[in-house]
């Protein structure tokens, strides 16, 4: 991803930078905002500025930066927690004198992945922060953090920008992607700019054509194979956006994005399908791993039933 920050991240970066230069920046910042809007990118830029490193010559993934005064704290794996051992190591790191930079910086991504023991251990560092260490807690779900942690951090909010700004920024990063594809991917991804930029640059497929085929009566079994390249939770999330769109437009009498018109009976089935989506997503996010192929087939059978 480009080292230049989009405008919706530059504003909070400038606020923090001004406070840093005036020696008024608190030692714990809660970098928070909606999913996909670049909180980690903002934390990267701030960390490099604190360490007096040029953003342009630093790796895009700052976790790969070998710097003695930087600690990037992550869960051990996808869906895992940040455990107490990592926070104990962080506390030891924070207590040390900076080696080559003016200060030490620790970034927790995502901070809401702290388990109970790790969160309580972090509180001790937040209550008595070493004068030379800054802690950046990055989150898309601040409500999942302990209130006592939130109260000991100053918020640095990332605020969503107009859709036109998002599309213009993504278009710059993915100049070869057609505007129609960016718009379709944008809808499926909730116009969250960072996931959208990655999807547009990587040529991620959309699911719209597959859903339209299912609605048209095609067999869900071969169609499920076309969706198998995407993460299961991603497919479910995208499908839910189309379902919400179909329900909203059905009630308003306007055409939805999909080739689907919901009559009263089909609207009832659509509500049932929405409930099923929520249950399936919860199972995936909680670490229950159903057979992805069977879940995809069930999803497509549900869409086909809406047009029956």
Confidence (pLDDT) at 251: 61
Q: Is 160 helix (H, G, I), strand (E, B) or coil?
A: coil
Confidence (pLDDT) at 213: 96
Q: Where do the structural domains in the chain lie, given as residue ranges?
A: 7-157, 163-202, 208-306
Q: pTM of this prediction?
A: 0.89
Helix 292-306 vs helix 220-227: angle between axes, to the nearest 10 degrees?
Answer: 120
Using the structure block, give the residue that is written with the tokens 């251990």: 121
DSSP string, 182-197: HHHHHHHTTT-HHHHH
What superfamily in CATH does domain 7-157 come from? P-loop containing nucleotide triphosphate hydrolases (3.40.50.300)
Confidence (pLDDT) at 262: 86
Q: Give the span between the Cα atoms of 190 and 35, in whole angstroms.
A: 10
Confidence (pLDDT) at 255: 67
Confidence (pLDDT) at 2: 47
Confidence (pLDDT) at 56: 72
Confidence (pLDDT) at 1: 46
pLDDT tens string, the chain, 308 residues long: the values are: 445 799 999 999 999 999 999 999 999 999 999 999 999 999 999 999 999 988 777 777 777 778 999 999 999 877 789 999 999 999 999 999 999 999 999 999 999 999 999 999 999 999 988 889 999 999 999 999 999 999 999 999 999 999 999 999 999 999 999 999 999 999 999 999 999 999 999 989 999 999 999 999 999 999 999 999 999 999 999 999 999 999 988 665 556 788 888 888 889 999 999 999 999 999 888 777 668 999 999 999 999 999 87
């Amino acid at each position: 991803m480009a080292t230049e920050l989009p405008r919706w991240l530059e504003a909070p970066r400038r606020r923090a930078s001004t406070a840093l230069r005036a020696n008024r920046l608190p030692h714990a910042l809660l970098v928070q905002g909606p999913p996909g809007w670049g909180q980690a990118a903002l934390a990267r830029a701030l960390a490099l500025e604190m360490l007096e490193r040029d953003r342009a010559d630093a790796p895009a993934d700052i976790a790969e930066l070998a710097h003695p005064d930087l600690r990037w704290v992550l869960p051990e794996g996808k869906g895992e927690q940040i455990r107490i051992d990592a926070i104990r190591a962080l506390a030891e790191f924070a207590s040390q004198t900076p080696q080559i930079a003016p200060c030490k910086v620790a970034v927790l991504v995502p901070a809401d992945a702290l388990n109970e023991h790790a969160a309580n251990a972090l509180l001790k560092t937040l209550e008595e922060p070493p004068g030379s260490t800054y802690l950046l807690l990055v989150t898309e779900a601040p409500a999942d953090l302990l209130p006592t942690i939130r109260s000991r951090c100053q918020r640095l909010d990332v605020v969503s920008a107009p859709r036109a700004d998002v599309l213009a920024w993504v278009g710059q990063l993915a100049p070869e992607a057609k505007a129609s594809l960016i718009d379709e991917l944008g809808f499926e991804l909730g116009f969250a700019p960072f996931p959208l930029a990655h999807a547009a640059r990587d040529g991620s497929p959309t699911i719209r054509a597959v859903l339209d085929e299912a609605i048209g009566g095609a067999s869900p079994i071969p169609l499920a194979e076309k969706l198998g390249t995407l993460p299961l939770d991603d497919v479910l999330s995208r499908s839910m956006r189309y379902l919400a769109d179909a329900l909203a437009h059905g009630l308003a009498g306007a055409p939805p994005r999909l080739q689907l018109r919901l009559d009263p009976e089909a609207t009832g089935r659509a509500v049932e399908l929405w409930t099923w989506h929520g249950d399936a997503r919860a199972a995936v996010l909680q670490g229950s791993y159903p057979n992805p192929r069977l879940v995809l087939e069930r999803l497509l059978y549900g869409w086909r039933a809406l047009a029956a």
